[in-house]
Amino acid sequence: MKSLGALKTILMEQEKCCKALVDLLQKERAYLIDFEVSGIEELTKGKDTLLLRLRLLEEERLRLTAALAAVPGGPPADVTLRGLVDRTGDAELSGIRLKLVSLAQSIEDLNSFNRHLIDRSLGSIRCATGFFQAFGGPLPERPARGALVSRET
């Protein structure tokens, strides 16, 4: 089946992108711990690019899966990757599926941990801001110094 080969190619690309996303999330964790704002900003751009690529790959995967699941003369069935593995008996497809499930779990765990770090950092910033406001209140207005001179020609 030509579509099955194309589906495997798409799934392997998704696997590569997911591995790259896991690497970025691990770097993000290190930057969050070290509070390297410039590094976090740079990683955010890379994550956005990867997520866009993953979204496009997922759309193509869904299209190919639907084409493989379509029964001639009948409506296309909504088939999961597991169902497709059961249907075709393809061991390689099963291996790719397991890797993707594992990577998805890793991404979820890393994302959760990074979210926790960000929440704690924001809490610390709010606490420090409250501390400084308690002593000084809002910053006083600076008196105007100098004078504006207008020259008309």
Q: What is the pTM of this model?
A: 0.76
What tokens were used for 148?
Answer: 């504006």
User: pLDDT tens track of the chain, all 153 residues?
Assistant: 578 889 999 999 999 999 999 999 999 999 998 888 889 999 999 999 999 999 999 999 988 888 877 756 444 555 778 877 777 788 898 899 999 999 999 999 999 999 999 898 888 888 888 877 777 655 556 666 665 565 665
Q: What is the CA radius of gyration of the chain?
A: 26
Could you tell me the sign of the dihedral formed by the alpha carbons of 93, 94, 99, 102, in that order? positive
What tokens were used for 91?
Answer: 């061991």
Domains present along the chain, CATH in parentheses: 2-133 (1.20.58)
